[in-house]
Structure 1
Amino acid sequence: MPIRFDAADAHWRVAPMPGFSADQKDWLTRGGSLTAHLRTLGQVEVRVTREAVDLPWPDERAALGLAPRASAWVREIVLVVDGVPFVAAHSATPLAASHGAWRAMRSLRTRPLAELLYSDSGVSRSALVSRRVNARHALYALAANATHSRVPHAHAARRSVFERHGAPLLVTECMLPALWTHLAHVAHIEHVEHNVHMGRERGPLDHTASRANAAQRAHSELR
């Protein structure tokens, strides 16, 4: 279903930046529910940090089709996996839409927004766009508050617009450092387990020979 709204601008782009890691490019472009993807990593909890009438961020107005000084309904949450904050999210919809097409957003409480977005065939989604956000962007402060610790110079973030009955809802998600740390740890464990498995398949003599050859190569390199 075509959508009238576009989440992209000069900074938010469909193609992830070349400097992003493989994990970052993967998670910034994953379709479907981010909450569902996080559930593959552990138990997910939604912590609501703010729900209020507010002005949208400067780079949100165009994506929402709002005039300057027009108000929006804003919801901010942290997605926590096994007690650790992995994602800080900020959602905004025109104030009128929060009483109309997106009124259910006001009564979600600690339920994920995904319950509204992926259970209704009448909801359309724009392309996912991503960027790095630093301290000059409001999303950076949201991420800092979510982690309560020293944060990197910039975060990887993504956003997209959902449309229902002609009304837009912009969802922006900032990936926190703990997510990348967890994925790196999982990859390390898988690598170790793979090596152990391969060693068992070769058998004890092959494994010993392999270690001996490696030692010989190392010795030769030192000579």
Structure 2
Amino acid sequence: MHLSSPTFPFGNGIHWFSAATHTELPPAPLQDWLLSRGSLTQRLKNCCNRFDVQLLGEQWITKNPQEWQGDEQQLWLREVLLCLDGTPWVFARTLITPALLQQQQQLEQLGERPLGELLYSDNQFIAGEIDVCHIQQGSPMCELAASLQQPTSAPLWGRRRHFSYQQLPLIVAEVFLPAAVDAISQR
């Protein structure tokens, strides 16, 4: 599977809502996955024989006020695909402040290692509330899914979680691709 880099970043323009107040969520079992408080990485690993991270890109970006409310103007962006037995299940987008990168330099050097392992193995990372998104047809996320031979016949769902490390913020967003939605619905 090869994606051309001129399309990076993929996750721009997603509108997020508080999961606690959003009234229209998908039915179970996908809702359970969206609202799960534990490590998505670990949960995905439990569903496959081989778990891989495919790095789509990483770079410094100028903040989008709709996505980041902090004072920082520049953020480190990392986008990956989480693949189970060779099939992309989840698109993940991480935003990290320069101050956090100075404290945790390993965040900038993850490469194809899963971020979730670090976040849930270090008790100094504090997980916050979950936001959700509902992505309609024609969005860049749906185009990404189609490029992965996973055309969308229904809207995509995602979740976003705010983390902090010694008061320094980090945001991780995860969108469930059609292959994941199909597999989850059969569990």
TM-score category by the smaller chain?
A: 0.7 to 0.9
Q: 2:123 aligned with 1:125, yes or no?
A: no
After superposition, the Cα gap between the structure-2 partners of 1:24 and 1:157, relative to the gap in structure 1 and judged at 3 Å, is same
Task: Please state whether the residue corresponding to 1:150 is helix, strand or coil.
Answer: coil
Question: Is the contact made by 1:52 and 1:74 (CA closer than 8 Å) also made in structure 2?
Answer: yes
Q: 2:56 aligned with 1:71, yes or no?
A: no
More strand by share: 2
Question: Is the contact made by 2:146 and 2:152 (CA closer than 8 Å) also made in structure 1?
Answer: no
Residues in 1 aligned to 2:87 and 2:62: alpha-carbon distance in whole angstroms:
29
More helix by share: 1
Q: 1:59 aligns with which of 66, 76, 79?
A: 66
Question: Is the contact made by 1:128 and 1:159 (CA closer than 8 Å) also made in structure 2?
Answer: yes
Aligned partner of 1:95 in structure 2 is 98
Q: 1:21 aligns with which of 11, 16, 27?
A: 27
- TM-score normalised per structure 1: 0.68
- TM-score normalised per structure 2: 0.80
Q: Deviations over 1:87-132 (max 9, x none)?
A: 000000123332x233211111111102221121211111112120
Report how far residue 150 of structure 1 moved.
2.3
Aligned partner of 1:199 in structure 2 is none
Aligned partner of 2:3 in structure 1 is none
After superposition, the Cα gap between the structure-2 partners of 1:73 and 1:150, relative to the gap in structure 1 and judged at 3 Å, is same
Q: Which runs of 4+ in 1 moved over 6 A?
A: none
The gaps in structure 2 that reach 5 residues or longer are: 1-14
Report how far residue 164 of structure 1 moved.
0.6
Residues in 2 aligned to 1:142 and 1:124: alpha-carbon distance in whole angstroms:
33
After superposition, the Cα gap between the structure-2 partners of 1:164 and 1:34, relative to the gap in structure 1 and judged at 3 Å, is same
Please provide the CA RMSD for this pair: 2.4
Q: 2:120 aligned with 1:114, yes or no?
A: no
Residues in 1 aligned to 2:114 and 2:147: alpha-carbon distance in whole angstroms:
17
Residues in 2 aligned to 1:145 and 1:48: alpha-carbon distance in whole angstroms:
18
Question: Is the contact made by 1:86 and 1:178 (CA closer than 8 Å) also made in structure 2?
Answer: yes
Report how far residue 134 of structure 1 moved.
3.0
After superposition, the Cα gap between the structure-2 partners of 1:169 and 1:146, relative to the gap in structure 1 and judged at 3 Å, is farther
Give the paired residue count.
171
Question: Is the contact made by 1:102 and 1:164 (CA closer than 8 Å) also made in structure 2?
Answer: no
The gaps in structure 1 that reach 5 residues or longer are: 1-9, 188-223
Which one has the largest radius of gyration? 1
Aligned partner of 1:85 in structure 2 is 88
Question: Is the contact made by 1:126 and 1:161 (CA closer than 8 Å) also made in structure 2?
Answer: yes
After superposition, the Cα gap between the structure-2 partners of 1:11 and 1:50, relative to the gap in structure 1 and judged at 3 Å, is closer
After superposition, the Cα gap between the structure-2 partners of 1:122 and 1:145, relative to the gap in structure 1 and judged at 3 Å, is farther
Report how far residue 56 of structure 1 moved.
3.5
Identify the range of structure 1 (145-154 vs 26-35) with the bigger mean alpha-carbon deviation: 145-154
Identity of aligned residues (%): 27
Question: Is the contact made by 1:155 and 1:174 (CA closer than 8 Å) also made in structure 2?
Answer: yes
Q: Which amino acid aligns with 1:39?
A: K
